[in-house]
Chain A
Amino acid sequence: MVAVGTLYGRGDARRYETNPATRETDWVKWLILTAALTFFLLFLLMPLIAVFTEALRKGWLTYLTAITDPDALASVRLTLLVAAISVPVNLVFGVAAAWAIAKFEFRGKRFLTTLIDLPFSVSPVIAGLIFVLLFGAHGWFGAWLFAHDIKIIFAVPGIVLATVFVTFPFVARELIPLMEAQGREEEEAAVVLGASGFQTFWRVTLPNIKWGLLYGVILCNARAMGEFGAVSVVSGHIRGQTNTMPLHVEILYNEYNFAAAFAVASLLALLALVTLGLKTFIEWKVERGLRDTI
């Protein structure tokens, strides 16, 4: 939708500031700006800066020692492994769910969409608890797993399961509205012209959804690498074995090893900044793409 008769683009605030009907008196404007920016500073910017200053408080040497410590490196490896499993698994699910929900009409569609969002409304602690109830030593399958010498809780499989649960909706919820908005005419044309299902998806659907897909994957990955509550319940906190990076941060912090805790935390904060950077880039790409098609 393009507003007719306006000089300025969508993201440009000047179209409000130059219009007497949509403009506040200067002191109101400054009051709102000051309040909003102070809030931003106190609650968002300062915590971010604090991570890096605390990490470097004792100098670069301490910082490097902390992040090259064998236990720290083991936690990095485990975090990467967990993300490398849970993100692709939820990616495949997200594409399948979006294909079914966005391209077809069926009963209970809205309800299914709500069910997919369910893990977002469950406390991370409960996400961990459910897997302890199922696979823990006293859980439903506990005795069977013990008899077969399979460890899920307090081991890597439990961490992966809990992470898959909390990151479950990310890709699906990006793709469903996007693919619904795009409709099915292009795919139908491809099929009528003789393309196979796979060709249709690969050549028609995928190019249309690639940015949305990437967006979902990036957010899914950030959560997978950063999840704390759910993983904390199932991990058992065994140093060098079942500690992901966020759990390693907690252990170091509780040992009053603040510089090391913040050093590992700063790596996660960098991941967050890269995530936000990529996210902004994709939003810019999509907006530019939209403008080109108008």
Chain B
Amino acid sequence: MGVATFFNPTRQTRVLPGFGLALGYTLVYLSLVVLIPLSAVFLESATLSGSEFWAIVSSPRVVATYKLSFGASLLAAAINAVFGLMLAWALVRYSFPGKKLIDALVDLPFALPTAVAGIALTALYAGNGWIGSLLAPLGIKVAFTPLGVLVALVFIGVPFVVRTVQPILEDLETELEEAAASLGANRLQTFSKVLLPTLLPALLTGFALAFARAVGEYGSVIFIAGNIPMVSEITPLIIITKLEQYDYAGATAVAVVMLVFSFLMLLAINLLQAWSAKRTGRNR
């Protein structure tokens, strides 16, 4: 029995050729490049006993990185949810000069290599940088502190919220708002009672995507963070530190924690997207 017969119970209705080849190739390539290598992390961590594993992933220095990585990522995603919504709103609802350019540049964090973003943000927010020098007299230090980590994570998260909310906002029928207005709702009521509930699933999806990306982010953060253990060290960095000390088991244990978190986020995002599709009647 071939791949095609197993996966396709309605074989006889098929006209198009190439199913077996295309699916077979997809599965083999997916297994070789993604699934087998990823399973290596779990198999490698299985060489550790339960208590050894726990000792590594709950050591104070590692726990400090979770607090920073997850805390800063949550905060960055929240900042992106607020400003991303405003940016998406401005791009859809208002006309202003340079709008097309700004719309195109929203995707910059996807296109700009993270290392470039990292050194650029460091240059801006360092004590002698354009923004850093304005904040220094106020006693605010950004670069080489946990605040720097936050700045980098806000940067890489910008497109997620804008690009999930923007299409929903564009497709929204104005009739809803017209009905709300004619029934006597003021603008704030219309927004909070009519628009926000419709946008909420997309907004949460964007938030979750930005959060998931931020937790794993490495390149843009390490330049601006200063990487001081217990203070401004992120979880991906500690994996690298352990690898450089040839502590494979330690690196793998921390990686397992991050991977399990990633899979849970992936599940949450899929559920959110299904909810969003149901709420707005759109398919993905």
Q: Which of B10, B103, B106, B259 counts the most A-chain CB atoms under 10 A from its CB? A: B259
Q: Which residues of B contact A70 (CB under 8 A)?
A: none
Q: B182 in the interface, Cβ–Cβ < 8 Å?
A: yes
B112 touches A48 (CB 8 A): yes
A268 with B112, Cβ < 8 A, contacts A36-B90, A122-B259, A129-B239 known: yes
Q: Which residues of A contact B18 (CB under 8 A)?
A: 99, 197, 201
B40 touches A246 (CB 8 A): no
B259 touches A191 (CB 8 A): no
The closest CB in chain A to the CB of B26 belongs to: A97
Q: B38 in the interface, Cβ–Cβ < 8 Å?
A: yes
A13 touches B248 (CB 8 A): no
B246 touches A36 (CB 8 A): no
A217-230 CB contact bits vs B (8 Å, 1 = yes)? Answer: 00100100111110
Contact residues of A: prevailing secondary structure: helix
Cβ 8 A contact of B95, one of A13, A51, A192: A13
Q: A209 in the interface, Cβ–Cβ < 8 Å?
A: no
A47 touches B41 (CB 8 A): no
A246 touches B219 (CB 8 A): yes
State which of A58-66, A143-151, A272-280 sits at the interface with chain B: A272-280
Q: B75 in the interface, Cβ–Cβ < 8 Å?
A: no
Q: B218 in the interface, Cβ–Cβ < 8 Å?
A: yes
Q: Which residues of B contact A202 (CB under 8 A)?
A: none
A39 touches B86 (CB 8 A): yes
A184 touches B16 (CB 8 A): yes
Docked Cα-Cα span, A277 to B104, in Å, equals 8
Q: B187 in the interface, Cβ–Cβ < 8 Å?
A: yes
B257-270 CB contact bits vs A (8 Å, 1 = yes)? Answer: 01100110110001
Q: Which residues of A contact B266 (CB under 8 A)?
A: 114, 117-118, 121
B108 touches A44 (CB 8 A): yes
Shortest Cβ distance from residue B17 to the other chain A in the assembled complex, whole angstroms:
4
B111 touches A275 (CB 8 A): yes
Q: B30 in the interface, Cβ–Cβ < 8 Å?
A: yes
Cβ 8 A contact of B94, one of A29, A112, A196: A29
A129 with B41, Cβ < 8 A, contacts A20-B181, A54-B120, A276-B111 known: yes
Shortest Cβ distance from residue A6 to the other chain B in the assembled complex, whole angstroms:
8
B243 touches A129 (CB 8 A): yes
Q: Which residues of A contact B276 (CB under 8 A)?
A: none
Docked Cα-Cα span, A25 to B171, in Å, equals 23
A268 with B236, Cβ < 8 A, contacts A187-B16, A200-B16, A222-B110 known: no
Q: Which of B8, B89, B90 counts the most A-chain CB atoms under 10 A from its CB? A: B90
Q: Which residues of A contact B33 (CB under 8 A)?
A: 161, 164-165, 168
Q: Which residues of A contact B19 (CB under 8 A)?
A: 100, 103-104, 106
B113 touches A268 (CB 8 A): yes
Shortest Cβ distance from residue A242 to the other chain B in the assembled complex, whole angstroms:
15
The closest CB in chain A to the CB of B129 belongs to: A50
Docked Cα-Cα span, A163 to B250, in Å, equals 24
A118 touches B110 (CB 8 A): no
A-B contact pairs, 26 of them (CB 8 A): A13-B92, A13-B99, A15-B174, A37-B102, A43-B151, A46-B124, A51-B120, A96-B29, A97-B22, A97-B30, A105-B10, A106-B23, A107-B9, A123-B216, A125-B216, A125-B240, A126-B41, A130-B41, A134-B40, A219-B111, A226-B115, A229-B218, A233-B243, A247-B115, A249-B115, A253-B119
- Interfacial residues, chain B to chain A (CB-CB below 8 A): 7-10, 14-19, 21-23, 25-27, 29-30, 33-35, 37-38, 40-41, 44, 83, 86-87, 89-90, 92-96, 99-100, 102-117, 119-121, 123-124, 129-131, 151, 154-155, 158, 170-171, 173-174, 177-178, 180-182, 187, 190, 212, 215-219, 223, 236-237, 239-240, 243, 246, 248, 251-252, 255, 258-259, 262-263, 265-266, 270, 284
The 8 closest A-B pairs by CB, nearest first: A226-B113, A123-B216, A228-B219, A229-B218, A197-B17, A272-B111, A21-B181, A100-B22
